[in-house]
Structures are given as C-alpha cells and as structure tokens.
Amino acid sequence: MFRRERSIPLRCSAAALCNNLSVLQVPSRNLTHFGVVHGPSAQLLSAAPEGAPLAQRQLHAKEGAGVSPPLITQVHWCVLPFRVLLVLTSHRGIQMYESDGSVMVYWHALDSGDVSPVQAVFARGIASSGHFICVGTWSGRVLVFDIPAKGPNIVLSEELAGHQTSVTDIATEPAQGQDCMADMVTADDSGLLCVWRSGPEFKLMTQIPGFGVPCPSVQLWHGTVAAGYGDGQVRLYEASTGTLHVQISAHARAICALDLAPELLSAAEDTFVHIWKLSRSPKSGHTEVEHCHAECVPDTQVCGVRFCDPSGSSFAVTGYDLAEILRFSSV
C-alpha cells in the first residue's frame, strides 16, 4: 500500500508532455532532485525526505536561430559511470549541464537541413549507456554522444538509423554478459521498437513492429522490453528476439510514462498510476506480471511518473495544470 506524502510546489504547471518528470536521488546528501518541463523552461527542484523544497533553479532552452523562444521537450539526468549530466532537449538542440544545472558543458544544434517549414524539428528521448548518452530526434535518428570522464570535450560519435518516424523514448540497462546482449531500446511515433547492443559501435539487434499506435514510453528489465502504447496497453517482449510474452490492458487511455525499480510503474491519461510486479517463471522462463497497486489522481492529465528510490518504496507524479509534484510512499 502507498500513502500520499507532502507534495512539492512548482512555480507553474508541468507541460502536457509524455515522460515529463526526471528524478535523481543523491544518497550522500539525503536529497532527491526533480526535473519538470514547462514551455521554454525546465524547473529543477531539490527536496529533503520530508518533502520540504530546499532549492529551485530554472533552465531555459538556448535560443539559436529564430524569433520565438524554443520549447523544451524533455529534461533527464543521465548517470554515467564517472559523472552525472543533466540533459535538456528542445526544438533547437540538445543542452548538457553539470548535474545541478549550474554549468552548461555542451550544446548541439539540430540541423533541420531540407526539412519542410511545416515539419516540427526537435529532440526527444534521452538515455545513457556506459560512457555514451543517446538522444532521439524528429527524423527518427538517434544521436550518440561520447562523454569524457570530465570536462566539455563531448563528441557526437555516431548516428543510429532504425526509425522512419520521430523517436519518442529511449531506455537502457547495464549489459549482463552474453545472456543479455541487447541493452538499449528505442521507440517511435509509429510504435516501432528498435533493440540495440551498445558499444564503440552500436548494433541493431532486432526490430519489433508497431501496430498503428505510438509508443510514448519504454523500459528494459533483465532483457525484457516493457513498452507502453497510445491505446493504454503495456506489452512485454523478449529483447533479443522480439517475442511477445505478455500483453496487459493496463489503462483506458494513452500511456504517458513507465518506470522500473524493480516493479514496473505505469501512468496514463486516464488519471491512474499502476504498479506491476515482474517475475520470471521458473519452469518456462517467461515473464509473468502481477498487479500490486493502483492510485488515482482525480481530474488530472498525468504526464510524468518516476520512482524516487531504487527499492521502489516511493514514487512521484506530475500532471498538466497541476502546480505541484505529488509524492507517494509505501506504508
């Protein structure tokens, strides 16, 4: 069971974007950092366990060319083996900051090239794998940045071509030897999933076809892809083969965010947040799912959800037209 804890006030509502919440726990300082996007700015907040906000910072998208302020599409902390970077994506480019947002260490402008004036240009979908940070784009390409142990000498090392439509989300997990060679999955607006093996050169392992609806959010769990779709379904696939193991009619409306730690957390536009226990059958080895908890956020278009600690004992929720971060903890 979970109970409502003290919420964290925001200066303004979260934007109606999928995956619009990032959480970074800092155990050494007993703090939790939260990142939320609103229009052309991102709000960063630090909170103590009792929920009292200790610090706030606003980051703005780099202007670049154009007359109107660019809109931010996502903010996400990337935990690398040797440093933590805060990555911000927008309609102009990709910005990387030190973890507290105090110093911008890298800026990558998006090249619109010969794109039609009516087509939106943006970056969206952020994840780290080893010493790489991967960011999706409107064109379907995934940009791979090689991150040094310190300093601003970040290099665009590779562009991955697997999608024909805009990337929506990227998820990774640590490689676990030969039994789990696939350690990254990317999703797009058509529902297509691409499963990759990271390394000095990323390799496309398999593609899992879509079925006519977008896939706004994905996660990886011990070689299993958890994908949330625009029709409210959660599907679990074997990452290495693309075999469908489980299909859950989890929500009545489009799923907006998934998270893992170690249970699966799903949130959707139907105002519900669900927690699912994942396990493997000792006989067949297939993934099994058990529903554990449901939480309703009345009259709210939920747009982000994240666990606040690795054990999954607490989680946070953001919603459109909701000027606070809701927090829940187990009892």
* The three-state (H, E, C) secondary structure of 27-80, written as one string: HHHCEEEEEEEECCEEEEEEECCCCCEEEEEEEECCCCCCCCCCCEEEEEEEEC
Indicate the DSSP class of residue 179. Answer: G
Residue 115 is predicted with a pLDDT of 65
Q: Show me where the domains of the chain are located.
A: 2-62+70-110+120-330
Give the chain's count of helices (H) and strands (E).
0, 29
Distance in angstroms (rounded) separating the CA atoms of residues 111 and 290: 45
CB 245 within 8 A of CB 236: yes
Contact 162, 187 (CB under 8 A): no
pLDDT at residue 284 in the model: 77
Which pLDDT score, from 0 to 100, does residue 62 have? 79
Residue 227 near residue 187, CB atoms below 8 Å: yes
* CATH architecture of the domain covering 2-62+70-110+120-330: 7 Propeller (2.130)
Q: What is the pLDDT of residue 56?
A: 85
pLDDT at 285: 76
Rounded to an integer, what distance in angstroms lies between the CA atom of residue 279 and that of residue 14? 33
Place of tokens 């030190």: 98
Q: What is the distance between the alpha carbons of residues 268 and 231, in angstroms, rounded to a whole number?
A: 10
Closest residue by Cα to residue 281 from 227, 229, 236, 228: 236
- Residue 177, pLDDT score: 52
pTM confidence score: 0.94
Question: With a cut of 50, which residues of the chain have pLDDT below it?
Answer: 178-179
Cα 182 to chain center, whole Å? Answer: 18
pLDDT at 155 (0 to 100) = 97
CA distance 230 to 200: 34
3-state class (DSSP) for residue 87: strand
Give the rounded distance of the alpha carbon of 19 from its chain centre. Answer: 5
Q: Could you tell me how far CA 322 lies from the centroid of its own chain?
A: 20
According to the model, what pLDDT value does residue 308 have? 93
Please return the burial class of 172, using the count of CB atoms within 10 Å of its CB with bins 0-12, 13-18 and 19+: buried
CA 316, CA 325: separation in Å to the nearest integer?
A: 6
C-alpha to C-alpha distance for 67 and 82, rounded to whole angstroms: 38
Residue of 220, 226, 223, 166 whose CA lies nearest to 190: 166
149 CB neighbour count, 10 Å cutoff: 9
Tokens 């562009």: give the residue.
159
Query: Do residues 330 and 1 touch, judged by C-beta distance below 8 A?
Result: yes
What distance in Å separates the CA atoms of residue 264 and residue 226, rounded to the nearest whole number? 8
